[in-house]
Amino acid sequence: MTPPHRRQFLCLAAGAAALPALPRMALAQAYPTRPVRIIVGYPAGGPTDVVARLMGQWLSERLGQRFIVENRPGAATNIATEAVVRAPADGYTLLLLDTAAAFNATLYDKLNFNLIRDIAPVAGILSAPSVLEVNPSVPAKTVPEFIAYAKANPGKLNMASSGIGVPSHVFGELFKIMAGVNLVHVPYRGAPAAVTDLLAGQVQVYFDPSLIQSGTSGAARSVRWP
């Protein structure tokens, strides 16, 4: 999942980020001495959760302690972020976040934390494209075809997201502005529910921020730039 040099950096960073006052060598030898929590702001089964569990397993095998994934969905990942901010700054509560954390600084007037001030970055884990996916009932195989169909059917296509303010929602709204189309936003409590309804045809389009979910590439179709 990650190249060797990034794996080495992740292993070292996980042990060194939380307690910078201690000597690096002593810290690397001492950490972790007990289980570590990885907080995820989405329900189980979504792409961020899958990445957290793969990463947690990898860290557990190499550092000799359990890395436990804890799902804290809601409020566009703000609940999870606040939980980590309020936890002791000892390196035993980690936060796996995505671009929603950056969006929230603009979307929310009042937050109980300042992401830049209160959260210390450890490592970049991965980057993933956002993919436009449609139910096969939509007669479009390319983005221009989809835009043309959406313009011919304004307000008749439902656009799923995994929650208000999360990447799948923001990317969809950006697409609507850039393409000049009217899609009806339908927010869900996480990616698994959104993808399930996309496959079932309850919604017709989903801006998937990752392809790391089972079933997404099955009945749904990814439209391509021509």
CATH, residue 61: 3.40.190.150
What CATH number has the domain bearing residue 135?
3.40.190.10
Does any domain span residue 124? no
Same domain, 114 and 170: no
Does any domain span residue 123? no
Does any domain span residue 126? no
Q: How far is Cα 119 from Cα 95, in angstroms, rounded to an integer?
A: 9
Across 61-84, average pLDDT: 95
The domain of 197 spans 131-222
Does any domain span residue 125? no
Q: What is the pLDDT of residue 108?
A: 87
Say if residue 4's pLDDT is above 80: no
Same domain, 46 and 95: yes
What does the pLDDT look like over 126-182, one tens digit per residue? 887 788 999 999 999 999 999 999 999 999 999 999 989 889 999 999 999 999 999
Same domain, 158 and 203: yes
Q: How far is Cα 26 from Cα 91, in angstroms, rounded to an integer?
A: 15
Would you report the helix, strand and coil content of the chain in percent, each value rounded to 5? 40, 15, 40
The Cβ of residue 213 has, within 10 Å, a number of other Cβ atoms equal to 17
| H helices present in the chain, as ranges | 4-16, 24-30, 47-63, 78-86, 100-107, 115-118, 143-152, 167-179, 191-200
Same domain, 8 and 76: yes
**Three-state secondary-structure class, residue 149:** helix
Same domain, 106 and 147: no
Residue where a domain stops, chosen among 94, 118, 142 = 118
Residue where a domain stops, chosen among 69, 90, 118 = 118
Half-sphere exposure of 80 (CA within 13 A, CB side): 26
Say if residue 224's pLDDT is above 90: no
Q: How many structural domains does the chain have?
A: 2
% of the chain exceeding 70 in pLDDT? 80
Q: What is the pLDDT of residue 157?
A: 97
Residue with tokens 């990447």: 167
Q: How far is Cα 25 from Cα 22, in angstroms, rounded to an integer?
A: 9
**Three-state secondary-structure class, residue 190:** coil
Range name among 15-19, 67-71, 176-180, 195-199 with the lowest pLDDT average: 15-19
